[in-house]
Amino acid sequence: MDIFLDQFFNLAIMTKVFPLLLKGLWMTVKLCIAVILLGLVGGLFVALGNLSPQRWVRWPTVVYTDVFRALPPLVLLIFIYSGLPFAGIKVSPFTAVVIAFLLNNSSYYAEVYRAGLISVAKGQWEAAASTGLSRSQVLTYVVLPQAVRNVLPDLLSNTVEVVKLTSLASVISLSELLYSADMARSVTYNASPLVLAALFYLVLLWPLVRLVSHFQRRLAA
């Protein structure tokens, strides 16, 4: 038992690496902000493309969502970070992560938005259009608020996944939370920094996970 505590919950080590992990956490937060915002906006456009009556808009976006949902985000990340330099395109780790996850997330967010948009009754479009609002006004003021409200739990749970996904950035040595923890692990020969990182993720995400469950229960009722 002692050895277990010493290896996983070593307070001395945890205290020592805490500032380092905090710095890593800050990088994770920056990543999250960039990736979530881009994903939310990009996903909306992809969803609108998915629902477009024009075939030459619809098909490419449908292929886009399917392909990027089929590829593991880590594969995209490695391809962009290690593959593109062969073609003379060099990107920083941060940019590589943002691009890879934008491709991945926008596809997932797009699916959520799409479900939301088609859940809004057709009559809402017609009523709003009949009062002289333009298509983009109908979308902005009437349809989108309802669509987002209808799929809020899914948007939220997708966002939780995005935050978890940022841990993959450690694979290409971007010094976010997990990378910092793993560095500390390899220096201290002790898993406590990883456990501390796990605790950080829990503090960050558990409330959101609870919220998702809460929403889902309320919608089911």
Partner 1 sequence: MAYRPMLEIVALEKRFGSNTVLKNIDLKVAGGELVFVIGPSGSGKSTMLRCCNRLEEPTSGDIILDGRNIMSGTSRDLNRMRLQVGMVFQGFHLYPHMSVLKNVTLAQRKALKRSKPDADARAMDMLERVGLAHKANAYPAELSGGQQQRVAIARALALDPKVMLFDEPTSALDPELVGSVLKVMKDLKSKGMTMLVVSHEMAFARETADRVVFMDGGVVVEEGKPEEIFGAPKAERTRTFLSRVSS
Partner 2 sequence: MDRFLDTFFNPVVMAKYAPDVIGGMGVTLTIAAAVIFAGIGLGLALACLRAYGLTILNFFIICYADIFRSLPPLVLILILYFGFPSIGIRLSGPMVLFVVLSLTLAAFAEEIFWAGFSSVEKGQWEAGIATGLGFTRTLAYVALPQAVRLAMPPLVNRVLAITKMTALGSAIGVAEILSTSTTAQSFSGSATPLTLSVIAYLVIFLPMVVFARWLERNSAWKSR
Binding site for partner 2 (CB under 8 A): 3-4, 7-8, 66-67, 69-75, 78-79, 82-84, 86-87, 160-161, 164-168, 170-171, 178, 181-182, 185, 189-191, 194-195, 197-198, 201-202, 204-206, 208-210, 213, 216-217, 220
Question: Between residues 62 and 133, which has the closer beta carbon with respect to partner 2?
Answer: 62
* Per-residue burial over 154-186, b = 16 or more CB atoms within 10 Å of its CB, e = otherwise: bbbbbbbebbebbbbbbbbebbbbbbbbbbbbe
Tokens of 105: 């997330």
Q: Is 57 in the site for partner 1 (CB under 8 A)?
A: no
Q: Which residue do the tokens 């609870």 mark? A: 210
15 within 8 A of 188, measured Cβ to Cβ: no
Torsion of CA 77, 78, 84, 89, to 10 degrees: 60
138 within 8 A of 41, measured Cβ to Cβ: no
Residue of the chain from 15, 134, 173, 186 that contacts partner 1 (CB under 8 A): 134
Question: Between residues 133 and 171, which has the closer beta carbon with respect to partner 2?
Answer: 171
Q: How far is the CB of 125 from partner 1 (least distance, A)?
A: 9
Q: Is 53 in the site for partner 1 (CB under 8 A)?
A: no
| Residues between 136 and 155 that touch partner 1 (CB under 8 A) | 137, 141-142, 145-146, 149
Residue 111: which residues within 8 A CB-CB, separation 6 or more? 47, 65, 69
Footprint on this chain of partner 1 (rule: CB under 8 A): 121, 123-124, 126-135, 137, 141-142, 145-146, 149
